[in-house]
Structure 1
Amino acid sequence: MNRAADTRQAAEAATPSGQYSGHNRISTQALTSLAKAAAADALGIHAHDVRADWSDDGGLLALSLVAPIRIPSLTAVLRDPGRVPALGGSIWDRTVHAKTDILTKVTELSGASLSRVDIRISGAHVTEEGRVR
């Protein structure tokens, strides 16, 4: 056998199921863009409205987000109180649920190990959904 074949066989034997050895890295910018998109989806806003910061939490990544949340107008809620539960409940309930969604989505798509997601709601994007008068 030639030297290249020996090297290839050694690499295949050293890694499970023929995977290649080496490093894969996801840049901080890519992780931040992913986190912003996941938060925007969970909170019903645009990704450019989300601020994301990363920190070390005992070897895992901790994600801190600052973002507004989408809410219906008060007149819309007065006309139809069922809109609040339809959106997922109170702002508090929706934020708690969003944490889980964001952590799961970022972990699944990036492979990064997140310890937690902290969200600070910075405002409200009021939407007037319904008929135009």
Structure 2
Amino acid sequence: MSSTAGVAVHGRELAGHNRINTQALTSLARAAAAEALGVAPHEVRAEWSDDDGLLALSLVTPITVPSLAAVLRDPGRVAGFGGSIWDRTVAAKAAILGRVTELSGARLSRVDILISGASVSEGGRVR
């Protein structure tokens, strides 16, 4: 992603280019996905594609879930993790799109998420 717009500094417009390379965008997307789904950034795979001039982000990632034993003891644990895997993934799409856009200025058309596995957590709420 690049920009050629001038920037006004002390009343003068400075010309030049600003670029965010694909590696930086990928690191940002992985961090945003990890935060939204409760996993480590190194567990997230991110790929970019062109979608009619906008960026489409595809993610492959595990998701953190409560242990089945914990859910059997207390079914409310599912809600404590943010709901079902489906509900959390849908919410994560919006959160990831918003976070990547906010921090990079990139215009994303969509975020696609493929859940590749579950990371079982005995702890409380994931954030």
* Same fold at TM > 0.5: yes
Distance 1:37 1:15, change over 3 A: closer
- Residue 25 of structure 2 corresponds to 31
Distance 1:71 1:19, change over 3 A: farther
Equivalent positions of 1:70-109 (< 5 A) are: 70-109=64-103
Q: CA RMSD in A?
A: 1.5
Distance 1:90 1:15, change over 3 A: closer
Equivalent positions of 1:35-54 (< 5 A) are: 35-54=29-48
The structure with the greater share of residues assigned to strand is 2
Gaps (5+ residues) in structure 1? 1-13
- Residue 121 of structure 1 corresponds to 115
The structure with the greater share of residues assigned to helix is 1
State the identity as a percent.
71
- What secondary structure, in the 3-state scheme, does the structure 2 residue paired with 1:88 have? coil
Q: Deviations over 1:74-130 (max 9, x none)?
A: 000111111111211100000000000000000000011100000000000011227
Q: TM-score by structure 1 length?
A: 0.83
In 2, the alpha carbon distance for the partners of 1:29 and 1:37 equals: 12
Distance 1:66 1:83, change over 3 A: same
Aligned with 2:62 (options 68, 77, 90) = 68
- Greater Rg over alpha carbons, structure: 1
The alignment status of 1:112 with 2:111, answered yes or no, reads: no
- Aligned residue pairs, count: 117
In 2, the alpha carbon distance for the partners of 1:124 and 1:77 equals: 15
Q: TM-score by structure 2 length?
A: 0.87
Q: Deviations over 1:54-85 (max 9, x none)?
A: 00000000000000000000000111111111
- What secondary structure, in the 3-state scheme, does the structure 2 residue paired with 1:96 have? helix
